[in-house]
Structure 1
Amino acid sequence: MNGVDPGRLDDQQLIKELETIHRTRHTTLLHGSDGALRAHGDRMAQLEGEYLRRHPRRSVAAARTRAGARERGHASP
């Protein structure tokens, strides 16, 4: 595993790691080697999994659901 075990990060460190990995995802996809992309994806899954484990009842915006997306698709300009 690359990096610190996500379970050992405090909440602030976990959020910082998530922000960084999401910010670098696009560049890794476009320009990283297959191994770098695989490692990036594995690390992102570990961090996101830890966040979801800690926050199973996180707030979900209605607009970010499939139903919300369908509603946006039918909205008048």
Structure 2
Amino acid sequence: MPNDNAVMARRREMATEHLLFKTMEYVEQRHPGLLDMLEQSLDHLGDPAEDETKDDKAVQEIARRMIEGARREI
């Protein structure tokens, strides 16, 4: 049986991503430039982990793919 905490975390992540994507699309359609600004900010995004799992580039790539996905939907 799956870990209930893991299941809830996955569900929250999916819901949050959906709401974030729709918000990004909505704002970009009304105020062009949001996605460009977000893309330019990615160098400041990092992984908060303090162990061997820390990977700033992986976190930045996830954000980059999210921005690219939002651009495709507009």
TM-score normalized by the length of structure 2: 0.43
> Is the radius of gyration larger for structure 1 or structure 2?
1
TM-score normalized by the length of structure 1: 0.42
